[in-house]
Amino acid sequence: MAAALQAIFGPRIPSEELATHRWRYLTPAFLLTLARVLLLVSIFVPYWAMELRAPQYPDGLHVQAYINRLTGDVTEIDGLNHYIGMRPLNDAAKLERTVSITMLIALVLLVEGAIYVHSKWTVLLTLPSILFPPVFLLDLYFWLNQFGQHLDPKAPLSNAIKPFTPPVLGTGTIGQFHTHASAGLGWWLAAAASVLTIAGLVFHRRAFKPLYDAASAARPGPVVPAEE
């Protein structure tokens, strides 16, 4: 049991080694701690924003997507989308928005747990937070594509607009409407957390792999019976 736990959690740091090379072992913990703080803060700021401009809206309409809700001119944009047969914005990603807060807190806890694991299992604990920013954009693209490519043929202006995919990032033109989409501060915080986590893994490997290899070499192997 002890050997199995050591294989998962890795070797502990000898006090003499920690005193001599303190920052070698504190650096990965510091980077991972900063990463989980950024992930936690990202819950409270928008992950994505879109501006829609049209002749009748010279100041534009704006919508912000937090990890669990939409804010801004959602009702007005839904009213315009109704005429071309697009479903209401809040119909998108209902499951994702329902579980998003719990999921992000779970990612934070996984990164925190990785601080105390001194073995290769750290990679598995941190992988979800590393992949989260691109997965968010891929999921957003999926829903924008679903909504734009499956317009209601019974809508008043269904014949005036062909199926389309609104841009996840950048500008786009849909009839007389122009859109500009950009990543919000929340997404950039999550992306920064991903980069910090990768950096933490690099320093983690440099610090703990020699200890892990030394502990593995010192571990007694199976007894081989002597030949007669």
Cα 200-206-209 angle, rounded to 5 deg: 110
Q: Encoding tokens for residue 64?
A: 């912000």
pLDDT at residue 2 in the model: 53
Specify the DSSP element, H or E, that contains 182. strand 177-183
Q: What is the structure's pLDDT at 182?
A: 98
Q: Please give the Cα distance from 40 to 68 (Å, whole number).
A: 13
- Residue 221's pLDDT is 53
Cβ-count burial 63-82 (b if 16+ within 10 Å, e if not): bbbbbbebebbbeebbebbe
CA dihedral 155, 161, 167, 171 (to 10 degrees): -130
Q: How many residues are recorded in the chain?
A: 228
The pLDDT of residue 228 is: 38
- Burial per residue of 35-55, b for 16 or more beta-carbon CB atoms within 10 angstroms, e otherwise: bbbbbbebbeebbbbbbbbee
Consecutive 10-residue runs of the chain (228 residues): their mean pLDDT? 59 74 89 97 98 88 97 94 92 95 97 90 95 97 95 87 92 87 98 98 88 66 45
Expressed in percent and rounded to 5, the helix, strand and coil fractions of the chain are 60, 15, 30
Q: Is residue 115 within 8 Å of residue 4, measured between CB atoms?
A: no
pLDDT for residue 226: 42
